[in-house]
């Protein structure tokens, strides 16, 4: 029986088919197998010809305790476990490292070896962990291939930024095995980011409490009018869901939005900035706080009790404004109750980096997620985001991603910090 080849079934029943493509980062696949086995997953491996130049079938076999498949035309393999069976026996296919070449083949539907044939034949979820030279990663061909794969529902563990084996610097380094494991667990836990949270003590953020703010605030002028902004809450809600998927207990304090409450998250609905501050203060203590809300900077000094009437010939009313409390800065100054990791957002139309860095210091945040929200970016209210992660240790630029993927990546980063 095909499934018998996969070990570790007794612990989780989850089986991963790991496809190891060629690249210097293939050595990290060995550590990934070890982590997967420790997490109770069964692992079988498919090694491409190029992958076999970097790691041996023997090491994959020893760590996975399972046969390693390489040859599409091997009669033995086809009689014992055909390529369709390989995919059928798995809950998830993982390509790590995923080279520019295998990603291009996947996008084009090429099936010219065992790995690509299995990938074309499968109806199971697929997760890719790209690894390549920075110029290859940023090449329009790879960008287009990644967009095609994302559209088809392929999950992605984004590569990290850093020094590369080719003596260049930038995004393209294979994500670390614990990051890939967290993404695998998130995919195995459910089909969407709003699905049931990863449970159990092995979830990376199990036992942690995360506070997240999201959406706009409404500042009343009178009982029927208010000052607001265009925030949709999509990014904040996705972050709350992604943290819950990694096992955190999440309190989401949300302004008025049209996106649904994420599953597995406790949501406090508020309208004004002062209500948001009260809800956040009441939610403490928390280990993690992510302030993604677009809080109104000002409110009307005294909102009218009754509707302000338009009177013929009268001057329009003048609104006198007063500053709202800064929720991030207040929680970051909460003394012993300050969450260990405080993350703010900087949505700017000008001088993005300078503003983000000054916010980091001024608000006593640990990280600032900076994004350009000028109308031409299409980010405000849109489905995608292009962010830079600013911290005391430097600036990391992430590629333009779906807001769900930004959320997942941020949640993984947070999980690493609490590693
Ligand atoms: O509005 P500003 O650009 O200063 O927002 C930066 C960060 O501070 C964001 O994370 C936002 O959620 C937070 N903030 C807040 N309370 C405010 C203003 C902003 O928590 N009154």
> Nearest C-alpha to atom 3 of ligand 1 is from which residue?
346
pLDDT digits (tens, 9 = 90+) for 247-300: 999 999 999 999 999 988 999 999 999 999 999 999 999 999 999 999 999 999
Would 4-189 and 200-417 be classified into the same CATH topology? yes
Burial of 125 (0-12, 13-18, 19+ CB in 10 A): middle
Q: How far does the centroid of ligand 1 lie from the alpha carbon of residue 228, in Å?
A: 14
| 294 CA: nearest ligand 1 atom | 12
Quick one: pLDDT at residue 136? 92
Task: Tell which CATH classification among 2.40.320.10, 3.40.50.1950, 3.40.50.1220, 2.60.40.10 matches the domain 4-189.
Answer: 3.40.50.1950
> Nearest C-alpha to atom 2 of ligand 1 is from which residue?
346
pLDDT mean over 367-382: 80
| pLDDT category of residue 210 using cuts at 50, 70 and 90 | very high
pLDDT mean over 74-82: 59
Quick one: pLDDT at residue 150? 77
* Active-site annotation, residues: 166
Q: Report domain extents, the chain.
A: 4-189, 200-417
Quick one: pLDDT at residue 196? 38
pLDDT digits (tens, 9 = 90+) for 88-102: 889 999 999 999 999
| 296 CA: nearest ligand 1 atom | 21
Architecture of domain 200-417: 3-Layer(aba) Sandwich (3.40)
- Is 60 exceeded by the pLDDT of residue 200? no
Question: Is residue 358 within a helix (H) or strand (E), and if so which, with residue range?
Answer: helix 352-362
- Is 90 exceeded by the pLDDT of residue 75? no
pLDDT mean over 353-367: 95
pLDDT digits (tens, 9 = 90+) for 132-162: 998 898 898 998 898 888 778 888 888 887 7
Per DSSP, the residues of 31-93 read HHHHHHHHTT-EEEEEE-TTGGGTS-HHHHHHHHTS-EE--TT-HHHHHHS-HHHHHHT-SEE
What is the Cα 346 distance to its own chain's centre?
Answer: 18
> Nearest C-alpha to atom 9 of ligand 1 is from which residue?
345
Rounded Cα distance between 129 and 106, Å, is: 13
What is the Cα 329 distance to its own chain's centre?
Answer: 25
Q: Of the residues 214, 277, 293, 341, which should be mutated to test ligand 1's pocket, given the most ligand atoms within 8 Å of the CB?
A: 293
């Amino acid at each position: 029986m095909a499934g018998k080849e996969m070990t570790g079934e007794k612990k989780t029943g989850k089986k991963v088919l790991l496809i190891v493509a060629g690249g210097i980062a293939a050595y990290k696949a060995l550590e990934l197998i070890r982590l997967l086995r420790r997490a109770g997953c069964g692992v079988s491996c498919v090694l491409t010809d190029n992958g076999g130049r970097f790691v041996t079938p023997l090491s994959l076999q020893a760590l996975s305790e399972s046969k390693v498949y390489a040859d599409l035309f091997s009669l033995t393999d086809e009689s014992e476990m055909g390529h369709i069976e390989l995919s059928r026996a798995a809950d998830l296919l993982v390509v790590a490292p995923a080279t520019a070449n295998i990603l291009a083949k996947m996008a084009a539907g090429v099936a010219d070896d065992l790995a690509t044939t299995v990938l074309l034949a499968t109806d199971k979820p697929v997760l890719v962990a790209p690894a390549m030279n920075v110029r290859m990663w940023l090449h329009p061909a790879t960008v287009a291939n990644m967009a095609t794969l994302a559209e088809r529902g392929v999950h992605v563990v984004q590569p990290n930024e850093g020094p590369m084996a080719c003596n260049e610097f930038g995004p393209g380094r294979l994500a670390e095995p614990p990051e890939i494991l967290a993404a695998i667990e998130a995919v195995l836990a459910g089909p969407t980011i709003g699905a049931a949270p990863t449970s159990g003590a092995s979830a990376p953020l199990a036992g942690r409490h995360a506070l997240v703010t999201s959406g706009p605030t409404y500042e009343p002028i009178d009982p029927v009018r208010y000052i607001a902004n265009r925030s949709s809450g999509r990014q904040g809600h996705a972050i709350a869901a992604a943290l819950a998927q990694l096992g955190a207990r999440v309190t989401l304090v949300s302004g008025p939005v049209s996106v649904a409450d994420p599953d597995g998250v406790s949501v406090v609905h508020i309208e004004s900035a002062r209500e948001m501050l009260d809800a956040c203060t009441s939610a403490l203590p928390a280990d993690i706080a992510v302030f993604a809300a677009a809080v109104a900077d000002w409110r009307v000094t005294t909102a009218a009790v009754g509707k302000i009437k338009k009177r013929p010939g009268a001057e329009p009313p003048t609104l006198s404004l007063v500053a709202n409390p800064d929720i991030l800065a207040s929680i970051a100054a909460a003394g012993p109750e300050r969450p260990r990791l405080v993350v703010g957002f900087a949505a700017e139309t000008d001088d993005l980096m300078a503003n983000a860095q000054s916010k980091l210091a001024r608000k006593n945040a640990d990280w600032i997620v900076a994004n350009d929200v000028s109308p031409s970016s299409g980010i405000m209210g849109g489905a995608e985001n292009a962010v830079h992660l600013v911290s005391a240790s430097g600036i990391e630029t992430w590629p333009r991603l779906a807001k769900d993927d930004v959320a997942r990546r941020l949640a993984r980063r947070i999980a690493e910090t609490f590693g």
